[in-house]
Amino acid sequence: MTADMTADHATAEARDENERVSAAVRRPPRPFWLGLAGIAAVLGVHEAVSRLELLRPEFFPPVSVIAPALLELLPTAQLWEQILGTLQGWGVGLALAAVLAVPLGMLIGSFEAVRRMLRVIVEFMRPIPSVALFPAALLLLGITTGMKVSLVAFAAFWPILFQAIYGVQDVDPATKETARAYGLGPVARFWRIIVPSTSAYIATGLRISSAIALILTVTVELLTNLTGLGNAIGSARTAGQFPQMYALIALTGILGWLLNGTFERVEARLLHWHPSQREGT
């Protein structure tokens, strides 16, 4: 009897191992490798288009020319000064937008009267592109870092605001009623129910606004002589240094990718308890 049970157990283990191996064979490539394949394909197309002169190679140099230009720029102090200028405008503008948008969004989402009172103003201001305010900001603030930060903050403000509003409105009414039934006051309900439930929405708004803030930062730098990657891109274009120009554009994209990945990792770590994170694992 014992020998039979041992044999059955060994057979079951072998079957489980075979199933794991089969599952591993059937498992599709990881997203990381798929991402690398996509990047390689895009770079290959870029190289071919330039080498075949489908676009003028002097204005659209191949990757094999842009990559060395990027490697030449990386060790220079001037490049890192430009990166620091961009990160400064991006970070201060995004932080200012968050400080203003989060409490206002939670206030609007919590009170119907406030939402109705501010609805027209919000709907009027939201569609205005930040770049359209550039002339006014230039007249009021001049070509200063404050002007750049103000435009970045305006653009980054709206996604955070609306995510905060939706987060508050999405709180389960039954949960709030249960907390009220257990004697929790308004302040306790706010910190124990509304804030945790809204945090995932706010994190998403911050991640979206991060990309928008970077776009506006580089755009303002392109239009002015303020220190940053946008200014460096414009200077390279004016000087006819097109490999350096495309290298700086690629570096801007890499910076945006790194910032987005950082936000995703911080969000996953801080909100590991939230259902939205558990569903993604």
Q: What is the pLDDT of residues 199-248, one digit of tens each?
A: 889 999 999 999 999 999 999 999 998 999 999 999 999 999 999 999 99
Residue 189 contacts residue 176 (beta carbons within 8 Å): yes
Question: What is the pTM (predicted TM-score) of this model?
Answer: 0.81
Of 110, 121, 107, 267, the C-alpha closest to 199 is 267
pLDDT digits (tens, 9 = 90+) for 45-61: 888 988 888 888 888 89
The distance of Cα 160 from the centroid of its chain, to the nearest Å, equals 12
Run of H or E including 39: helix 31-51
Residue 198 contacts residue 176 (beta carbons within 8 Å): no
pLDDT bin (cut points 50, 70, 90) of residue 274 is low
150 class by beta-carbon count within 10 Å (0-12 exposed, 13-18 middle, 19+ buried): buried
Query: What pLDDT was estimated at residue 14?
Result: 45
pLDDT digits (tens, 9 = 90+) for 95-118: 999 999 999 999 998 888 888 998
Give the residue-averaged pLDDT of 85-93. 96
- CA-based R_g, the chain, Å: 26
DSSP state of 132: G
Of 6, 161, 53, the C-alpha closest to 98 is 161
Q: Name the more confident of 260 and 12.
A: 260
Would you say residue 188 has pLDDT above 70?
A: yes
Q: Name the more confident of 208 and 1.
A: 208
Q: What are phi and psi of 144, to 5 degrees?
A: -135, 165
Query: What pLDDT was estimated at residue 30?
Result: 58
For the chain, give the mean pLDDT.
84
Amino acid at 229: L
User: Which three-class secondary structure state does DSSP give residue 25?
Assistant: helix
Residue 118 contacts residue 226 (beta carbons within 8 Å): no
Structure-token match 């014992």, residue found: 2
Give the residue-averaged pLDDT of 112-137. 89
Residue 194 contacts residue 110 (beta carbons within 8 Å): yes
* Distance between CA atoms of residues 155 and 216, nearest Å: 7
* Distance between CA atoms of residues 228 and 215, nearest Å: 12
pLDDT digits (tens, 9 = 90+) for 3-43: 444 444 444 444 554 454 344 444 454 567 887 888 888 88
DSSP state of 61: -
76 class by beta-carbon count within 10 Å (0-12 exposed, 13-18 middle, 19+ buried): exposed
Describe the chain by its helix, strand, coil percentages, rounded to 5.
85, 0, 15
Rounded to 10 degrees, what is the CA torsion of 244, 249, 254, 257? 180
Query: What pLDDT was estimated at residue 67?
Result: 92
Query: What pLDDT was estimated at residue 139?
Result: 92
